[in-house]
C-alpha cells in the first residue's frame, strides 16, 4: 500500500508572511493546491471556532492560518466561504473575537453560519448511518478543514478529525454526546462523521498548540508546525507522535487503526518537508481525566471511579448558566447563581468544562484514579 504523505513545515510564529509561506510550501509539498482541490464550485474552509476567544488563547484556529489557507484555496476554487458551528456563542461572534472574520475580510472571503442543516445518509457507517450536517458542508464542492491542535478532556486530543464535529449544527451536538456516551463509541462516531464529510484537505495549526486542560482552559504551547494532508487521520497521528503521544490512546485514532480508516501506523505515513526529529516535544501534557481508558470496559462504577469528575469552583462561577445549556443530559441546575452538578447522572462528557467561559469547572480525579496514577508513575520510573 502506498504511504500517505503528510506535509510537515516549520513555522515558529504567526507573522503573516511566515504563515503564508509555510502554508504555501506545505501545499506545494503535496503537489500543489491545483492537484488537491476542484477548480469548479465553492470550497468551504472549516476552522475551529469553538467559542468567541482571542487568538492568543490558542482555543481557535489562528486567523493568519485561516487567511493563508483561504489564499491558497482562492488560487483554484471559484468561490471560498468560511464557516463553523461554535460550541458557545454564534459563528459571527466567534469569528469576530478570534480575528477570523477580519482575516476573511482581508482576503475577500465571507463567513457563514451553520444554522441550517440536512440529513445525510451514510449506509456504510459503522455506528452512525445518518448525520444531520450543516447546509454549507453538504453544498460545498470540497471541504478544507483547518483545525487547531489541542488536548481535549473527553477524547484526549482534538485536531483534524475532531474539528469536523463542528459540521453538526448547534445544539444537535449534545444529542450525539447523549447517544454515544462511551469514549470508544464516540470515537467510532467521529470516524463515521469523517466518512460523511470527506474533507479534501486537512490543515493543522500547530504553530502554537494547547496542552493540559484543553480544549478551552489549557496552556498555549509553542509547537512550531503546520501539517497538511488529504488524510486527517494521518495528520493527527503525525502531530501526536511529535508530541510524544502514542496516537492510539485517542479513541478515534485507535478505531481508525482497527478499521483501516486512515493512516495511523508510522509505516503507513510518509512525512515530507521538515524532519520530524526537529519538532520533538518532551513534556506535552495530556488532560486530566483521560488515563486508565482500558479499564472503562468494567462499566459504570469503574467509569465513575477512574475518570475525572467535573467540579464547580464556586469562587470563579459567575452564574452565567452556559454550562447548564451545554450539558447533554441536563444534569446541571442553578442555585443561588451558582452551577450545581448532579454527579449521579453525569455522563462525564466534559462539555461543561469545555464551554464554561470562566474556567470555573475543574476536572478532578477521585481517590481510585489518583492511586492508579501513582502506581502507573511508579512503574514508569522503574
Report how far residue 58's alpha carbon sits from residue 49's, in angstroms, rounded to the nearest whole number: 11
Smallest gap from residue 183 Cβ to ligand SF4 (A): 13
Smallest gap from residue 330 Cβ to ligand SF4 (A): 8
Choosing from 318, 333, 374, 376, the residue that interacts with ligand SF4 (CB under 6 A) is 318
Smallest gap from residue 328 Cβ to ligand SF4 (A): 6
Per rule CB under 6 A, is residue 331 in the interface with ligand SF4?
Answer: yes
Per rule CB under 6 A, is residue 358 in the interface with ligand SF4?
Answer: yes
Report how far residue 121's alpha carbon sits from residue 127's, in angstroms, rounded to the nearest whole number: 12
Nearer to ligand SF4, 272 or 311 (CB): 311
Report how far residue 289's alpha carbon sits from residue 155's, in angstroms, rounded to the nearest whole number: 10
DSSP state of 12: -
Report how far residue 73's alpha carbon sits from residue 221's, in angstroms, rounded to the nearest whole number: 28
Task: Decide: helix, strand or coil at residue 280.
Answer: coil
Choosing from 361, 362, 365, 369, the residue that interacts with ligand SF4 (CB under 6 A) is 361
Smallest gap from residue 371 Cβ to ligand SF4 (A): 22
Q: How many CB atoms lie within 10 A of CB 357?
A: 15
Q: Is 58 left (phi over 0), alpha (psi -120 to 50) or beta?
A: left
Report how far residue 207's alpha carbon sits from residue 25's, in angstroms, rounded to the nearest whole number: 15
Report how far residue 270's alpha carbon sits from residue 78's, in angstroms, rounded to the nearest whole number: 31
Smallest gap from residue 115 Cβ to ligand SF4 (A): 23
Report how far residue 143's alpha carbon sits from residue 197's, in angstroms, rounded to the nearest whole number: 8
Per rule CB under 6 A, is residue 327 in the interface with ligand SF4?
Answer: yes
Smallest gap from residue 149 Cβ to ligand SF4 (A): 23
Q: How many CB atoms lie within 10 A of CB 197?
A: 25
DSSP state of 329: T
Per rule CB under 6 A, is residue 321 in the interface with ligand SF4?
Answer: yes
Per-residue x/- marks for ligand SF4, 255-294, CB under 6 A? ----------------------------------------
Choosing from 323, 362, 365, 369, the residue that interacts with ligand SF4 (CB under 6 A) is 323
Per-residue x/- marks for ligand SF4, 334-353, CB under 6 A? -----x-x----xxxxxxx-
**Which chain residues interact with ligand SF4 by CB under 6 A?**
310, 312, 317-323, 327-329, 331-332, 339, 341, 346-352, 356, 358, 360-361
Amino acid at each position: 500500500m502506498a504511504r500517505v504523505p503528510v506535509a510537515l513545515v516549520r513555522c515558529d510564529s504567526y507573522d503573516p508572511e511566515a504563515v503564508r509561506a509555510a502554508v504555501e510550501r506545505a501545499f506545494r509539498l503535496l503537489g500543489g493546491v491545483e492537484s488537491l482541490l476542484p477548480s469548479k464550485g465553492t470550497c468551504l474552509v472549516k476552522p475551529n471556532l469553538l467559542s468567541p476567544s482571542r487568538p492568543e488563547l490558542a482555543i481557535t484556529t489562528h486567523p493568519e492560518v485561516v487567511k493563508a489557507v483561504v489564499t491558497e484555496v482562492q488560487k483554484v476554487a471559484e468561490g471560498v466561504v468560511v464557516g463553523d458551528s461554535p460550541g458557545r456563542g454564534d459563528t459571527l461572534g466567534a469569528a469576530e473575537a478570534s480575528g477570523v472574520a477580519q482575516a476573511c475580510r482581508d482576503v475577500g472571503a465571507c463567513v457563514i453560519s451553520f444554522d441550517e442543516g440536512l440529513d445525510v445518509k451514510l449506509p456504510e457507517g459503522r455506528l452512525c448511518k445518518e448525520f444531520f450536517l450543516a447546509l454549507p458542508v453538504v453544498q460545498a464542492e470540497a471541504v478544507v478543514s483547518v483545525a487547531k491542535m489541542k488536548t481535549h478532556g473527553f477524547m484526549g486530543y482534538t485536531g483534524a478529525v475532531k474539528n469536523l464535529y463542528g459540521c453538526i449544527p448547534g445544539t444537535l451536538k449534545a444529542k450525539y454526546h447523549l447517544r454515544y456516551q462511551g469514549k470508544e463509541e464516540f470515537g467510532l462516531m467521529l470516524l463515521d462523521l469523517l466518512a460523511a464529510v470527506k474533507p479534501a484537505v486537512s490543515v493543522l495549526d500547530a504553530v502554537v498548540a494547547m496542552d493540559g486542560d484543553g480544549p478551552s482552559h489549557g496552556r498555549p504551547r509553542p509547537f512550531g508546525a503546520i501539517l497538511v494532508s488529504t488524510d486527517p487521520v494521518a495528520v493527527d497521528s503525525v502531530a501526536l507522535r511529535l508530541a510524544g503521544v502514542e496516537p492510539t490512546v485517542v479513541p478515534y485514532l485507535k478505531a481508525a487503526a482497527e478499521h483501516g480508516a486512515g493512516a495511523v501506523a508510522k509505516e503507513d505515513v510518509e512525512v515530507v518537508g521538515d524532519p520530524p526529529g526537529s519538532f520533538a516535544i518532551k513534556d506535552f501534557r495530556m488532560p486530566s481525566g483521560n488515563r486508565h481508558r482500558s479499564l472503562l470496559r468494567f462499566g459504570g462504577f469503574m467509569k465513575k471511579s477512574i475518570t475525572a469528575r467535573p467540579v464547580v469552583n464556586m469562587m470563579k462561577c459567575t452564574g452565567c448558566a452556559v454550562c447548564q445549556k451545554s450539558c447533554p443530559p441536563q444534569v446541571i441546575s442553578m442555585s443561588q447563581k451558582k452551577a450545581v452538578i448532579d454527579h449521579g447522572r453525569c455522563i462525564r462528557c466534559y462539555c461543561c468544562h469545555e464551554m464554561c467561559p470562566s474556567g470555573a469547572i475543574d476536572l478532578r480525579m477521585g481517590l481510585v484514579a489518583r492511586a492508579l496514577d501513582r502506581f502507573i508513575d511508579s512503574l514508569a520510573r522503574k
